[in-house]
Chain A
Amino acid sequence: MVAPVRLLANCVVGLGFSAHGFELGLEREPHLIGCDAGSADFGPGYLGSGRDPKSRISVMRDLRLMLEGARRLDVPLVFGSCGGAGAQPHVAGYLKMIQELAAESDQHFRVALVHADQPADYLHAAVDAGRIRPLGVFPELSHEDIDSSAAIVAMMGAGPLVAALDAGADVVLAGRCADPAIFACGALRAGVAAGPAWHAAKSIDKGYLATQTPREGSPVLATVDDDGFVIEPMKPGVVCTTRTVAQVTMHENPDPFYVTQPTGAISTQSAHYEQLDGGRVRVTGSEWVAAERPSVKLEGARLVGYRSIMIAGIRDPRLLARLDEFLVDYRRLLERVAASLGIAPERWTLRFRSYGRNGVMGDLEPLIDDMPHEIGLVVDVVADDQDVATALVGRAGPTGSRYDFTGRLGGGGNFAYPFSPNVLSLGPVFEWSAWHVLDLDDENEPFRVELVDV
């Protein structure tokens, strides 16, 4: 029987956490501190562009506190999916921030970067070998999908993180990473049985979501051994319940009882949750179903164009009464403008987003016939060139605002603009080019550990 392993978790780097709660967590002498630093929920834009959805100011605050605490205790600090999407520019950005923080406090330690970027040649060979399968409702991955991608990353499990820790890393900056792996690596490396190790890790990988009061909640501590684990909140007054802990495994997961990982699946079918004092929850009966063959998820982003938008408020009840007709005419008028500018139809697409009516649900809005008293119209142009998108949105303002219709009384203009300038160039737009599974013989194969002593 191994000695219990303590894992201290915050929710997401850049979302903030209780500094007091974190300090109380450090007093419990965790064996590993970890935090998720990314998600695919933000869409392919961050993978494609190399940008971080979180601001440097917010990220630096969280990194500073966690780095200081981990170095004081001299325990490993693990960040997964660094920089939002976990590709090379994101991991490099995290390394730069860690180096700045190390220099600030004159500290020296070993950083392991775990790269998740996948070279095109490797993926072409995997396609030819029939080792790549689509996930969800995506089609088969083609060679063209690979070549047209701005970036493709694989999502690592615990194996590459264990390798980084074995190499003596004090801080692990992992590229795209399965959230539970951030914590499971610590428990598995200590020899804890896979069932409790993975389920405990999954229960804390969203930090405060394991508590009753997510606004107050992070950090949380998992104490895990071969028999099971205990989840407890670190901030006084915060409570975990059997229900809040059980719900974490369902979060953003298509199946409530199986959470698929690269080397198997966490099964909570027979898990038992018991309320303890102090807002703690004990979990037993967690199982690990080992996969016949390891596999990792691939995520790729492809550039589809450049976006410019304009936000226009419409309050005129007579125009709102004929909004559908207006939008049909408006589209036709903008097509004429594009033709006059020599912009071919295949170079741009136009979307109208009518906030107040169907901006949130699009065509699926059941209340499409309930016209509100005002509409926030977003004119959204995606073109193959930023200047083309900006030119068309620039012309969309006067074209729509001057649109004349029977019964029009508001002669000054149809559009109320909140912002000056009112044409906003939003930059490159991406779509997922890869959302697939890559079958492997060794779960570590697609990942590369690079050591940097700072």
Chain B
Amino acid sequence: MPTLGEVAAAVKSANAGASMMTFDIVFADERTYEEMLARGAVTAEAVGGLYRIDPTGIAVYPCRPVLTIKITIPRRSANGGPDETDFDGVQQFAPLLDLPV
């Protein structure tokens, strides 16, 4: 089974405010985008499993105009506090690359 890192054109993470983080998974063409949506590969459950967080707090938005699946999750701790490891949140996408799709 291919992984998300193999089929996506871009996988990005960033803060969405201090208490949330957002992932943008961009596909190169409509066919791949539709296929990924149809297969239900990127779900709140799958992402929750990867990041060990409750899926009910995860929002998944398909964004057809930009061939992107957007996922928003709560942060472990508010950005830039004493426990921070990545205050922009820009490296937190890495586990998504290995998600089987």
Residues of A within 8 A of B (CB): 40-45, 135-138, 242-243, 246-247, 250-257, 268, 271, 273, 299, 304-305, 307, 349, 351, 353, 359-364, 366, 382, 429-432, 435
Contact partner of B68 among A250, A299, A353, A366, CB < 8 A?
A250
Contact partner of A250 among B50, B70, B81, CB < 8 A?
B70
Give Cα A247 to B9, complex, Å.
Answer: 14
Assess the A43–B87 pair: CB atoms within 8 A.
yes
Give Cα A252 to B16, complex, Å.
Answer: 5
Residues of B within 8 A of A (CB): 14-20, 22, 24, 26, 50-52, 57, 59, 61, 63, 65-68, 70, 72, 74-76, 78-88, 91-92, 94-95, 98
Assess the B87–A256 pair: CB atoms within 8 A.
no
A residues within 8 A CB of B74? 136-137
Give Cα A137 to B59, complex, Å.
Answer: 14
Contact partner of B17 among A251, A362, A435, CB < 8 A?
A435
Assess the A359–B85 pair: CB atoms within 8 A.
yes
Give Cα A364 to B81, complex, Å.
Answer: 17
Contact partner of B88 among A41, A45, A136, A247, CB < 8 A?
A41
Other A-B pairs beyond A41-B14, A135-B17, A250-B24, 10, CB < 8 Å: A42-B87, A44-B78, A137-B57, A242-B65, A243-B66, A246-B66, A252-B22, A257-B63, A268-B65, A361-B94
A-B contacts, 23 of them at CB < 8 A, read: A40-B17, A41-B79, A41-B88, A44-B80, A45-B80, A135-B17, A135-B19, A247-B68, A250-B66, A252-B14, A254-B17, A254-B72, A255-B59, A256-B70, A271-B65, A299-B18, A304-B81, A360-B86, A364-B51, A364-B52, A430-B81, A432-B79, A432-B80
Assess the B82–A431 pair: CB atoms within 8 A.
yes
What's the count of A-B pairs with C-beta under 8 Å? 125
Assess the A353–B85 pair: CB atoms within 8 A.
yes
Assess the B22–A254 pair: CB atoms within 8 A.
yes
Give Cα A305 to B81, complex, Å.
Answer: 11
Assess the B82–A255 pair: CB atoms within 8 A.
no
Give Cα A246 to B65, complex, Å.
Answer: 7
Give the 9 A-B residue pairs with the shortest CB-CB distance, closest first: A43-B80, A136-B19, A431-B81, A254-B16, A254-B72, A256-B63, A43-B87, A432-B78, A137-B19
A residues within 8 A CB of B94? 360-361
Min CB gap A258→B, angstroms: 10
Give Cα A255 to B88, complex, Å.
Answer: 18
Give Cα A256 to B63, complex, Å.
Answer: 7
Give Cα A430 to B94, complex, Å.
Answer: 27
Give Cα A128 to B15, complex, Å.
Answer: 31
Give Cα A268 to B72, complex, Å.
Answer: 18
Give Cα A243 to B98, complex, Å.
Answer: 26
Assess the B82–A305 pair: CB atoms within 8 A.
yes
Assess the A364–B76 pair: CB atoms within 8 A.
yes
